Every structure is written in structure tokens, then in C-alpha cells.
Amino acid sequence: MKALVVDDDPITLTLLRDSLKYLGYEVATARNGREALAYLDKEPCRLIISDWVMPEMDGIALCKAIRERPIGGYVYIVLLTSKGGTTNLVEGYAAGADDFMSKPFEPAELNSRLRTARRILSLEGRDVTIFALARLAESRESDTGVHVERSRCFAQTLARDLAAAGKFTDEIDGEFIRLLYLTSPLHDIGKIGIPDSVLLKTDHLSDEEFETIKTHTTRGAVTLEEALRDFPEAKFLRMARDIVLNHHERYDGKGYPKGLAGEAIPLCARIYALADAYDALISRHVYRDAVDFEGARQIIAAERGKQFDPQIVDSFLRCEERFIELCKTTKDPSTQRELPEEA
């Protein structure tokens, strides 16, 4: 495992670097928070041990900056401190630190803190499980799993763009983007409860059958709601529930299951609704051919303020090229054959 040690004191830096190397870690070093962020821009690193008091950018500012960034996996941060007292610890936790270690550190303490870090980071295996379950649910309709992968990337792209454009700043931060990417593959988990005779039907669905299909939103949400009762603080469960239940709601209130409108629909579901719809448009189905990129763009744009949140449509129009790039890197046999000419 790689660890990034951040400290302005060269002696602490040397001591931690050599000790961690001795313990089998691959170690990178930085002399302040700014250097650490520059490193993280180039290299992924899941474990950071950082001093608190440093010139240019201290440990607290570094924690905040890392938590605000849309970094793919979780970064575990241990703050080194000679500061004591509850107030300081609260400040550290509020900034996003996961643990603290007093200076000068003791090897036994260092070891146990690192064990905890590895245990917490290993929980990210949970992410893999979620994705595997989502693909399993999708496998009844398609055997490629490309839809869940591609639509989560679309959703992540939209969320990043919205953040960069300064939209929904009270909701979108690094954690929101990470959770959206993590939980959106579960959007159709409720389809597990839909009979094959309805789900896999290639003819037109009767009204009754369509009503059955629509229950996949509530079926999935009920399951997640039960888990949420046991773990009410689990943000990933909350977002998963919101997406599963609301990704077929429409901005104009004509969607299902509840007919919610506008901002009454959770933001994560409004974002995912567009990502899901776009992927459905550019994919071939048994009942229709794939729409080309130009056609998909026109359809999405025409639904501005109707099916989709206007600000999210604007975001899509800003980053449509990125969507097309994603299609090129995650092609499957159902994706349209003709890609637009390169500019």
C-alpha cells in the first residue's frame, strides 16, 4: 500500500518515511499541504499521514481540500499533532481527518493506527459488492453490464460539471460525487422482483404490465429503506434509496412513482435520471434502434424543464463531448455503430 507523508520537518519526514518503508509501505513525501495536493493530482494515494501545523497549507486545510475533491476512492487521513484537547480534535474531525497520532509518535501506536486505516479502507470492498449486485440485477436484461458502468460515469461527469459551474453548492461536494458514482448502479435493483414474463417481454406492454414494471422503483426502495432503518447514518444507503425510488420522476411532475416535481425530487435522482435516459437513448433495444449522438442531444435538450432539471440539461450540453468519449471507451454491441466525426 502507498502512503503519503506530509510534514515540514525533515526529521519527522525521514523518520516516518523510513519506518513506513520498513513496515512494507511504498512511501511518498511532501513538505506541506500544497505539495501533497499537487502529488495527489498526479498519483492516487489512499493513506495520508500529515502534520497539523505547516507553512503554506496546514493539515486542516489539506483535509478540507481532499474531502472537497472528487477523488475516486476514499482517502484515509491521519493527522500528526502535538495539539491536545477536545476542541482541536473536533476541529480535525470536522475538517475530515479520520484519526490522530501524537508527536513524537510511538511505533506501536503507529502500527495500530495503520492497521485501523487498512481495515477502514478495506471496507471499500463494499463498493465492489454493490457494483456486482447491480450488474447481477441488470444481467436479466443484458449480459454486458455496460449500462451500469456507463451511466454511473455520465452521472459523475454531470455532478463534476455542476460543481465546477458553482451549481447546487450546498449539496454537491467530493463525497456527493463519490456516493453518486458508488450507488447509482443500484438504480434498477428492484427489477429483481419483476417477473421474467413482464421484464423480458419484447412486445408492447399492456397497461397492467407497465404498472408492474413501474413497481421496480418502490420494490428496490423498500429493501434499501429497511437497511437504512438499521444504519440511519449510512449516507450511501440514503443516496441509493433516493436514486432507486426517484430516477423515473420527471421535473414537470409527470413521472412515477409519486409524481414529484422540481426540487422535490432529490438532486442525485435528477442527475441520474438524465444519465440513465441518455444511455438508454444511445443503446440498441429489442424494441428500437439506438439513437445517434445528435438525435440523443436534441431529445435531451427538448426535455429541458419537462423530463429533466434545466440546470442539469445545461450541464449535459456543456459536457456532451465527454459523454461521447465515455461511449467510445465503454462500447458494447448495443451501442450505436456510427460515432460522430472527430472535430
Partner 1 sequence: MNAINVEELLERCMGVHSIMETVLAEFRDLGEEMLRNIETRLDEGAWRKASEAAHSLKGASGNISAESLHALAAKMEICAEKADAEACNELRQVLRREMELCLHDISEILNDCPV
* Cβ neighbours of residue 276 closer than 8 Å, sequence gap 6 or more: 151, 187, 247
> Helix 174-183 crosses helix 146-164 at what angle (to 10 degrees)?
160
Q: Rank residues 91 and 314 by Cβ distance to partner 1 and give the closer one.
A: 91
Helices then strands, counting H and E runs in the chain, come out as: 15, 5
The cell for 278 is 441518455
Catalog residues that contact partner 1 under the rule CB under 8 A: 7-12, 14-15, 18-19, 22-23, 51, 53, 55, 82, 103-107
Nearest distance from C-beta of residue 110 to partner 1, angstroms = 9
Nearer to partner 1, 52 or 168 (CB): 52
Strand-pairing partners, residue 285, are 288
Q: How far is the CB of 103 from partner 1 (least distance, A)?
A: 6
What's the min distance (Å) between Cβ of 115 and partner 1? 15
Q: Which residue has the cell 414529484?
A: 260
CB-nearer residue toward partner 1: 103 or 284? 103
Cell numbers for 148: 451500469
Q: Which amino acid is located at 109 in the chain?
A: E
Which residue, 93 or 105, is less far from partner 1 as judged by CB? 105
Q: Under DSSP, is residue 175 helix (H, G, I), strand (E, B) or coil?
A: helix
Amino acid 162 reads: L
Distance CA 150, CA 234 (A): 25
Q: Compute the least distance from the CB of residue 100 to partner 1, in Å.
A: 15
Rounded to a whole number of angstroms, the minimum distance from the CB of residue 30 to partner 1 is 16
Residue 50 vs 157, nearer CB to partner 1? 50
